[in-house]
Amino acid sequence: MNELKNKETETSNLKTMLEVKNLRKIYKNGHLELEALKGINFTVKEKEFVSIMGKSGSGKSTLMNILGCLDTISHGEYILDGENVAGLSQNRLAHIRNKKIGFIFQSFNLLPKLTAQQNVELPMVYAGVNKSKRREAAMYALSRVGLSDRGHHRPNELSGGQRQRVAIARSLVNSPAILLADEPTGNLDSRSTEDVIAIFQQLNNEGATIIIVTHEPEVSEHTKRIITFKDGQIVSNVNVENQIIAVQRNPNDIE
């Protein structure tokens, strides 16, 4: 009981990483208007591990794109790491994506012609980090996801689970404010899914703030809070009572 109380005070002292206020997104197509997000409010604090759930068409992908600064807001506010993102220029948004957001996509989105190492270096190239520092940081990031020895492999020489771990390593290298994972296990078998979730939990334990968009309850059960969407609105926002801890295989067992 005491322990729980401590945890709560600890949480309230943590920095707000992301805050969405009355967020609306309206798509216009001629005279037709589609309101994909109908006034969303929520907050994510430092070191949180949140999953956003909902069926397809619920607005969760739209929200993901907005949180990732890939798409713009029609109404409302989105404050990311203390900066109001609404209304910023494309250039400034590119900068924010580079420095404050680490993306993990369902289809990995690695560049096929680059090696794993080069893929991991890419965000640092755009951040203007010099070559030797890039190499060092990329190797460290790859070691965090258990792929130290795969740096010179191209994506097509890696398994799905390995590719997603390369993508996770890539998302980490610029020390972003949040990691945004969009259905990160959607293209993976159950074993690789377990590995990837284990890595997310490990990163979260090490202090990373993570948001996962998913429609799989098996994935969201591993996070600490679940926000559920329906028809462009939040229908529930609850802490997970019994977070399931994923067990990562020994890296030597991984294909």
Partner 1 sequence: MQFLESISSAVKSVLSHKMRSFLTMLGIIIGISSVIMITSIGDGVYNAIHNEIATFNMSTIQVFPRNVFGPSILTYNDMDAIQNLPNVNNVTTMIESNSNQRIQLRNPLETRRGSITGLDHNYHIIENINMLYGRFISENDINNMARVAVIRPEISIQVFGFVNSVGRTIYIEGNLGRLALTVVGIIDVPLDTIAAQSPPSMALALVPATTLSSLRNTPNNIDAMMVSMDNPIFATETAEQITRLLNIRHNREDGFAALSMTEVMDFIEIIFVGVTAFITFVAGISLFVGGVGVMNIMMVTVTERTREIGIRKSLGATGVLIRLQFVFESIVITLIGGILGIIFGIGSALALTIAVSHFSPMEIIATVDVTAIIIAVVSSILIGVIFGVYPAGKAANLDPVDSLRYE
Which residues make up the interface to partner 1 (CB under 8 A)?
Answer: 65, 68, 70-71, 90-91, 94-95, 97-99, 103, 105, 109-111, 113, 122-123, 125-128, 130, 170, 174
| Beta carbon nearer to partner 1, 102 or 161 | 102
Among residues 103 and 200, whose Cβ is nearest to partner 1?
A: 103
Closest CA to 147 of 165, 123, 172, 167: 165
The token pair that represents 141 in the structure block: 């990031």
Helix H or strand E encompassing 170: helix 160-172
Residue 110 or 219 having the CB closest to partner 1: 110
Shortest CB 98 distance to partner 1, Å: 2
Nearer residue to partner 1 within complex by CB, 42 or 126: 126
- Which of residues 111 and 235 has its CB atom nearest to partner 1 in the complex? 111
Task: Tell the smallest beta-carbon distance from residue 251 to partner 1 (Å).
Answer: 26
Q: How far is the CB of 116 from partner 1 (least distance, A)?
A: 14
DSSP string, 60-113: HHHHHHHHTTSS--SEEEEEETTEE-TT--HHHHHHHHHHHEEEE-TT----TT
For the CB of residue 63, give the shortest distance to partner 1 in the complex, in Å: 12
Q: How far is the CB of 71 from partner 1 (least distance, A)?
A: 5
Return the residue matching tokens 């992301």: 18
For residue 173, which of 212, 126, 138, 225 has the smallest C-alpha distance?
138
The whole-angstrom separation of Cα 196 and Cα 203 is 11
Taking 3-state DSSP, the helix, strand and coil percentages for the chain, each rounded to the nearest 5, stand at 40, 25, 35
